[in-house]
């Protein structure tokens, strides 16, 4: 799937720019077998050229305000010495980030942002394109990161001919999103519906050409409408159109809105076309079975496709799980999962053993009950047709509406 990816270049989306050099060995494991020492950092007009003595694994950049700076993180690199500032860049500092590689910080004499980055063919040269902007534009570029709490994007472009990928400059996101719109009565608890995948990440593809990202969006919209019709909750969606969001952004947006419940909607997929039925997943450090582990690997890959390195950018899930708050959240999530399964049973094809657990990145919020609802198998002709149908959408939405109503009614009663 990754190998067929095509890059679309658009200079319109410059909010975040990334690039990545993927060693065929390195990009799978995220662990470079050696490190490239930074040989030189030099500013030539509006370009910054960074040279390494060995190919590095990946790089990513982001803007920081107060004072205005650009930070460049390079995995698989060690800091070197020679650096020559110039142009908009008043000073260059390099530091080690241990196993994460090196960081180069560019102090700015005037506001400038990176609009593009590309590696040379041998993976030893990284060229960044700078653009001078006004303070407001810089602030937007810098604010975007704070808004999303995201690690910088990077992108993988494995090449079949060369051991390294080359130029990467990536646009795949709408400009800094404002927080999602919240629908409904402000006095009601808030449910955030997350339509899985989107944009350049289609998710699983059904035999009939159906794309998971389309089905999840349609289901999510149907769920939103059903919840709003019930009048018991407010609803927001992480996406209402075909756009890409990394996993942290999905629950990050929900946390920012102080959501009371987070439901990520997906479709399952299996090699065995006979596999059928919905499941509800909650977070666990240990997968409930092999299939759950495979599912987690597949769903968590959305970020790897986008090039975000989960390994380095996220605290280990298990370390969060020790937290008692998280335990409480996990219990609330599990009870909602059981409720959803129970309410869905008479309405949609659902597995007998519908509640499963896996270390799913999108469920990682420590303080917000979260479930991942696999509405059925896109790889199964019957399930796919059901999920895609108007009736199927309605039944999926009804299941969630009933479960949500009971969930909040019970919580109110227990207070």
Binding site for Zn ion (CB under 5 A): 196, 203, 266, 299
Question: Which residue, 123 or 196, is less far from Zn ion as judged by CB?
Answer: 196
Q: How far is CA 185 from the centre of its chain?
A: 29
Question: Which residue, 50 or 280, is less far from Zn ion as judged by CB?
Answer: 280
Burial of 361 (0-12, 13-18, 19+ CB in 10 A): buried
CA separation for the pair 392, 389 (Å, rounded): 5
Question: Which residue, 116 or 212, is less far from Zn ion as judged by CB?
Answer: 212
The DSSP result for 85-112, as a single string, is -BTTEEEEEEEE-GGG-EEEEEEESS-E
CA separation for the pair 221, 72 (Å, rounded): 38
Least distance from C-beta 131 to Zn ion, angstroms?
A: 36
Contact 126, 120 (CB under 8 A): yes
Q: Which residues pair with 93 in a beta bridge?
A: 105
126 contact partners, CB below 8 Å, separation of at least 6: 19, 21, 49, 50, 51, 52, 56, 59, 74, 117, 118, 119, 120
Question: Which residue, 217 or 334, is less far from Zn ion as judged by CB?
Answer: 217
Question: Which residue, 152 or 206, is less far from Zn ion as judged by CB?
Answer: 206
Question: Which residue, 9 or 208, is less far from Zn ion as judged by CB?
Answer: 208
Cβ neighbours around 182 below 10 Å, total: 15
Least distance from C-beta 365 to Zn ion, angstroms?
A: 18
Question: Which residue, 260 or 299, is less far from Zn ion as judged by CB?
Answer: 299
374 contact partners, CB below 8 Å, separation of at least 6: 266, 267, 268, 278, 279, 280, 281, 295
Least distance from C-beta 347 to Zn ion, angstroms?
A: 21
Q: CA dist 25 to 34, 97, 356, 357, 380, Å?
A: 11, 22, 33, 30, 34
Angle CA 407–411–415, to nearest 5? 170
Least distance from C-beta 51 to Zn ion, angstroms?
A: 40
Token pair recorded at residue 227: 């919840």
Least distance from C-beta 196 to Zn ion, angstroms?
A: 4
Q: Which residue is nearest to Zn ion (CB)?
A: 266
Least distance from C-beta 305 to Zn ion, angstroms?
A: 11
Least distance from C-beta 204 to Zn ion, angstroms?
A: 6
């Amino acid at each position: 799937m990754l190998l067929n990816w095509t890059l679309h270049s658009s200079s319109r989306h410059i909010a975040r720019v990334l690039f990545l050099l993927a060693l065929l060995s390195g990009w799978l494991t995220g662990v470079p077998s050696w490190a490239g020492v930074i040989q030189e950092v030099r500013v030539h007009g509006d370009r910054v050229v960074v040279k390494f003595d060995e190919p590095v694994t990946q790089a990513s950049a982001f803007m920081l305000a107060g004072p205005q700076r650009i930070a460049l993180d390079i995995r698989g690199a060690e800091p070197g010495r020679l650096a020559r500032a110039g142009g908009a860049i008043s000073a260059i500092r390099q530091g080690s980030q241990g196993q994460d590689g090196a960081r180069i910080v560019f102090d700015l004499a005037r506001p400038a942002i990176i609009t593009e980055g590309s590696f040379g063919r041998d993976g030893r040269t990284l060229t960044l394109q700078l653009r001078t902007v006004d303070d407001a534009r810089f602030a937007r570029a810098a604010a975007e990161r704070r808004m999303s709490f995201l690690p910088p994007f990077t992108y993988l472009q494995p090449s079949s001919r060369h051991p390294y990928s080359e130029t990467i400059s990536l646009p795949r996101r709408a400009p800094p999103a404002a927080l999602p719109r919240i629908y409904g009565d402000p006095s009601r608890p808030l449910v955030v519906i997350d339509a899985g995948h989107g944009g350049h990440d289609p998710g699983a593809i059904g035999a009939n050409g159906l794309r998971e990202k389309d089905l999840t969006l349609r289901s999510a919209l149907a769920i939103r409408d059903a919840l709003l019709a019930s009048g018991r909750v407010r609803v927001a969606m992480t996406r209402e159109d075909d756009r890409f969001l990394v996993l942290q952004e999905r629950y990050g947006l929900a946390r920012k809105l102080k959501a009371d419940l987070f439901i990520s909607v997906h479709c399952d997929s299996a090699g065995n076309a006979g596999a059928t039925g919905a499941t509800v997943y909650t977070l666990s450090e240990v997968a409930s079975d092999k299939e759950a582990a495979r599912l987690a690997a597949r769903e968590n890959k959305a970020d790897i496709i986008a090039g975000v390195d989960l390994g380095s950018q996220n605290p280990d899930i298990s370390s969060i799980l020790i937290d008692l708050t998280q335990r409480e959240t996990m219990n609330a999530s599990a009870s909602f999962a059981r409720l959803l399964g129970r309410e869905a049973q008479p309405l949609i094809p659902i597995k007998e053993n519908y509640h499963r657990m896996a270390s799913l990145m999108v469920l990682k919020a420590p303080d917000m009950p979260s479930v991942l609802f696999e509405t059925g198998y896109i790889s199964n002709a019957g399930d796919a047709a059901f999920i895609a149908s108007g009736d199927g959408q309605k039944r999926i939405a009804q299941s969630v509406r009933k479960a949500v109503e009971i969930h909040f009614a019970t919580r109110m009663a227990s207070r």
